[in-house]
Amino acid sequence: MDYIMELRKLVGSRPLIFPGACVAVIDEDDRLLLNLRTDNGYWGLPGGYMEPGESLEETARREVLEETGLCVDEVKLLDIFSGPEFFYQYPNGDQVHNVTVAYVARSFRGDLINSNEESHELRFFPLRELPSNIAPPLKKIVERIVSEFVRD
C-alpha cells in the first residue's frame, strides 16, 4: 500500500492503471467468501493491488492471508478482467482503471479472522444467495464466478 500512497502523493486522485488480483475462495459447501469493505461499504472478494517485485499469484495469496487469515492452497486462474467497466472512483476521489487477475481457490487452511482494518466483516455466502451490494469493479467477476460454479 505504501507504493500506491507514494504514487498518489505525486499524481493526486487522477486516474491510474493498477494491476491486482482477487481470489474466489469457495468452500466445500460451494459458498463464496466475501468481505464487507470499510472504504466503500460494499462486499468484495479478498484481493488487492500488486506490490513492486510481486507476481500476481503472490499478490493473490498475500491479500487472502492479510484480509482473512487463510492460506490458500492451489489457486487456479479464472480470467483477467479489464476495460471501462473496471474503472472505479473511490469515495475519497482516487480514480483507478483496474486490471484484475481473478483466481479460484477451493482448498485453504487456517481460521477465518478479520485481521485487517479493510473489512468490517468476513462471511461465506451460498453462491445463489450473494448480497446485492457487490463492489462495482468486482460485479462482473462475481457474475462470472457464479456462472462457472453454480450447479443446477
Q: What is the pLDDT of residues 11-38, one digit of tens each?
A: 999 999 999 999 999 999 999 999 998 8
Contacts of 47-55 with C-beta under 8 Å, sequence gap 24+, read 47/20, 47/21, 47/22, 47/23, 47/100, 48/20, 48/21, 48/22, 49/1, 49/3, 49/4, 49/18, 49/19, 49/20, 50/18, 50/19, 50/20, 50/21, 51/3, 52/3
Is the pLDDT at 109 greater than 70? The verdict is yes
Is the pLDDT at 1 greater than 70? The verdict is no
Q: What is the mean pLDDT of the chain?
A: 93
Tell whether the torsion through CA atoms of 6, 56, 74 and 121 is positive or negative.
positive
Q: Give the lowest-confidence range in 44-58, 73-87, 116-130.
A: 116-130
In the chain, the domains with their CATH numbers are 2-149 (3.90.79.10)
Is the pLDDT at 130 greater than 90? The verdict is yes
In this prediction, what percent of the chain has a pLDDT beyond 90? Answer: 80
Q: Model-level pTM?
A: 0.91
Give the pLDDT of residue 152.
65
